[in-house]
């Protein structure tokens, strides 16, 4: 009997091993913790009655900024990571590469010792000694290439804390990838992996630039690659994985709940697809809820295939990839 039939659908999704390949640690801050930290730091909470109940993308950005303002001390980052691990364990998350945005931390807290904060995060993520979680330092487009260079230098200096790569986030529509080419080349030459958000607020050319100019191995979202079949073909041919976060896409308007999610067309076209939650607490979702959404529409077997893709697209060592595959139920 197939696992999904034997256990019941939701239970089968719950039991499935899960991987975070596109999750911003700051975006996992529990609402209660946010309120507490905001109160201590005198940070204005944009929506009082329903903490993370924003209705559009600009409101989301305001909330994300408030969250970063509230996280002021190394022990706040330790708490954030500790609570993340507890929440991940409840959902059978077995592995993760988590984004953090130290340039944003520094922007709001110039006095914060970033290495100390990253050390606190790393210690909590690996409190069980299993090294299930590593970090990707996300460069913020809006802060420009110089700030990006500092983030890359930091990433190269903090590999001992589990930093495995750099990402590119921020305002994709106004800040294209090209000025970051040199910074990404330096990161890759230093042995860091490269990923980038693209094809969300800008179109297929932005996805192409992330792949060809930055050497991104995975793309956050990437949905608008569908606007140009040549870019879809590029992703499929080079096996560049798209990290799809359905609830996030609904909020940004990259996809709608009314139509079939574009991830199915991308999958059909041979583009590797994985599922994640982006900023799960802020979006009032969870990786398990995102997996459930995909399994309901595409079937449990498809979801299981995406988990296998996530293992392959991860930056884990070969032995760990083998071990992770061993956790999957038989197909
Ligand atoms: Zn993201």
Which residue(s) pair with 7 in the sheet? none
- CATH node for 3-327: 3.20.20.140
Confidence of residue 95 (pLDDT cuts 50, 70, 90): very high
C-alpha of residue 187 to centroid of ligand 1, in Å? 20
C-alpha of residue 155 to centroid of ligand 1, in Å? 18
> Is the model's pLDDT at 113 over the cut of 80?
yes
Question: Averaged over 281-296, what is the pLDDT?
Answer: 96
**Which residues, other chains included, contact 122 with Cβ-Cβ below 8 Å and sequence gap of 6+?**
81, 135, 161, 162
Residue 48 gets which letter from DSSP?
S
Q: What is the pLDDT of residues 184-205, one digit of tens each?
A: 999 999 999 999 999 999 999 9
* Domain limits, the chain: 3-327
Is 151:103 a contact under the CB 8 Å cutoff? yes
Confidence of residue 3 (pLDDT cuts 50, 70, 90): low
For the chain, give the percent of residues with pLDDT over 70: 98
> Is the model's pLDDT at 9 over the cut of 60?
yes
The phi and psi torsions of 218 (rounded to 5 degrees) equal -140, 155
**Largest alpha-carbon pair distance within the chain?**
58
- What span, in angstroms and rounded, lies between the C-alpha atoms of 112 and 120? 12
CA 235 to chain centre: 19
pTM of the model: 0.96
In this prediction, residue 57 carries a pLDDT of 80
Positive or negative torsion for Cα 285, 287, 288, 291: positive
C-alpha of residue 63 to centroid of ligand 1, in Å? 15
Report, as residue numbers or ranges, the catalytic residues: 200
C-alpha of residue 298 to centroid of ligand 1, in Å? 23
Confidence of residue 5 (pLDDT cuts 50, 70, 90): low
């Amino acid at each position: 009997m197939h696992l999904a039939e034997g256990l019941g659908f939701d239970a089968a999704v719950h039991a499935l091993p899960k991987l975070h390949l596109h999750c911003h640690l700051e975006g996992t801050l529990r609402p209660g913790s946010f309120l507490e930290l905001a109160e201590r730091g005198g940070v204005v909470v944009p929506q009082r009655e329903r903490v993370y109940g924003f209705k559009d993308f600009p409101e989301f950005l305001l909330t994300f900024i408030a969250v970063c303002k509230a996280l002021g001390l190394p022990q706040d980052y330790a708490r954030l990571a500790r609570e993340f691990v507890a929440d991940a364990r409840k959902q059978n998350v077995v592995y993760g590469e988590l984004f953090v945005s130290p340039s944003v931390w520094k922007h709001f807290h110039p006095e914060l010792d970033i290495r100390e904060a990253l050390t606190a995060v790393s210690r909590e993520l690996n409190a069980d000694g299993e090294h299930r979680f590593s970090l990707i330092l996300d460069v913020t487009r809006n802060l420009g290439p110089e700030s990006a260079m500092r983030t890359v230098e930091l990433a190269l200096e903090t590999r001992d804390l589990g930093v495995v790569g750099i990402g590119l986030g921020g305002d994709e529509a106004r800040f294209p990838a090209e000025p970051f080419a040199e910074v990404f080349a330096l990161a890759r030459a230093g042995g860091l992996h490269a990923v980038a958000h693209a094809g969300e607020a800008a179109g297929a050319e932005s996805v192409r630039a992330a792949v060809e100019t930055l050497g991104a191995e995975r793309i956050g979202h990437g949905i608008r690659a569908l606007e140009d079949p040549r870019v879809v073909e590029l992703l499929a041919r080079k096996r560049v994985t798209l990290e799809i976060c359905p609830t996030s896409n609904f909020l940004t308007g990259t996809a709608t709940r009314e139509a079939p999610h574009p991830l199915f067309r991308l999958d059909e076209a041979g583009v590797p697809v994985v599922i994640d939650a982006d900023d799960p607490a802020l979006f009032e979702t969870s990786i398990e809820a995102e997996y459930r959404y995909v399994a309901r529409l595409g079937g449990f077997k498809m979801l299981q295939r995406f988990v296998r893709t996530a293992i392959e697209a991860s930056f884990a060592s070969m032995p760990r990839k083998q071990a992770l595959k061993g956790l999957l139920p038989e197909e």
